[in-house]
């Protein structure tokens, strides 16, 4: 069998043509870029909290993307090339994100979800966060009442930060947070 090796009755394909290699690279670049754009639209919460629904979606995304990248008959060479292309893309986008404008275009900014004990329902909806998730995060952070909260921020990574009332917040820590103007000045001081 050309381009393969027999092990235990099954053929393991090792080889890859130049056309196949180009297809793997183009597929990987297109899928990675499309995935980043879709995440930009859906928001940073898409893969941050792993509920059973999120876990199922993550596994399905991986399977769909892997199959699309490797083609009809995956080979060892195609798998290695796909992984190398993904790592190269990760490195390129990491360098691009050093530019402030490109970074803001590629990623969602942090969003204020609570300000001075008040839930910002419009921001919750826009960030695809339900109030039950917010309450869970407050409990996990040791918050006993909404009034104890100075700010809750959905970070770029999809995680939620809880800042307590009574502690001053340096303004530079809120510089990129959407809705920061809603915070009382008593909480934000240099």
User: Domain check: are 15 and 97 in the same one?
Assistant: yes
3-state DSSP call for residue 109?
coil
User: Domain check: are 90 and 131 in the same one?
Assistant: no
For 66-112, the pLDDT digits (tens) are 888 887 777 888 888 988 998 999 899 889 989 988 888 878 889 99
Residue at 134 is within a domain: yes
For the whole model, what pTM was predicted?
A: 0.69
User: Domain check: are 79 and 53 in the same one?
Assistant: yes
For 12-43, the pLDDT digits (tens) are 566 788 888 888 899 999 998 888 888 878 77
* Residue range of the domain that includes 127: 111-182
Report how far residue 165's alpha carbon sits from residue 170's, in angstroms, rounded to the nearest whole number: 13
User: Domain check: are 128 and 173 in the same one?
Assistant: yes
pLDDT at residue 51 is higher than 70? no
pLDDT for 67: 84
User: Domain check: are 78 and 21 in the same one?
Assistant: yes
User: Domain check: are 84 and 99 in the same one?
Assistant: yes
User: Domain check: are 88 and 150 in the same one?
Assistant: no
Q: How high does pLDDT run on average in the chain?
A: 84
Residue at 26 is within a domain: yes
User: Domain check: are 10 and 94 in the same one?
Assistant: yes
User: Domain check: are 77 and 58 in the same one?
Assistant: yes
Report how far residue 52's alpha carbon sits from residue 113's, in angstroms, rounded to the nearest whole number: 24
Report how far residue 114's alpha carbon sits from residue 110's, in angstroms, rounded to the nearest whole number: 12
Q: How many domains does the chain have?
A: 2
Residue 128 · residue 169 · CB < 8 Å: no
Residues 7-12: contacts with CB within 8 Å, 24+ apart? 12/76
CATH number, position 115: 3.30.240.20
Name every residue whose Cβ is closer than 8 Å to that of residue 87 and which is 6 or more positions away in sequence: none
pLDDT for 9: 44
Per-residue pLDDT band at 50 (split at 50, 70, 90): low
Per-residue pLDDT band at 1 (split at 50, 70, 90): very low
User: Domain check: are 148 and 71 in the same one?
Assistant: no
pLDDT at residue 10 is higher than 70? no
């Amino acid at each position: 069998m050309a381009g393969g090796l027999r092990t235990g009755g099954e053929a393991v394909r090792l080889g890859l043509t130049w056309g196949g290699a180009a297809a793997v690279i183009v597929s990987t670049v297109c899928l990675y870029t499309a995935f980043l754009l879709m995440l930009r639209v859906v928001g940073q919460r898409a893969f941050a909290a792993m509920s059973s629904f999120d876990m199922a979606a993550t596994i399905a995304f991986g399977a769909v993307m892997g199959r699309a990248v490797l083609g009809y008959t995956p080979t060892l060479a195609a798998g290695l090339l796909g992984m190398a292309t993904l790592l190269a893309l990760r490195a390129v986008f990491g360098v691009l994100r050093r530019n402030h404008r490109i970074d803001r275009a590629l990623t969602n900014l942090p969003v204020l979800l609570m300000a001075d004990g008040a839930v910002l329902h419009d921001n919750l909806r826009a960030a695809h966060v339900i109030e039950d998730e917010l309450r869970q995060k407050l409990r996990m952070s040791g918050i006993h009442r909404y009034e104890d909260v100075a700010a809750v921020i959905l970070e770029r990574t999809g995680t939620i930060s809880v800042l307590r009332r009574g502690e001053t917040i340096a303004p530079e820590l809120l510089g990129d947070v959407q809705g920061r103007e809603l915070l009382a000045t008593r909480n934000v001081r240099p």
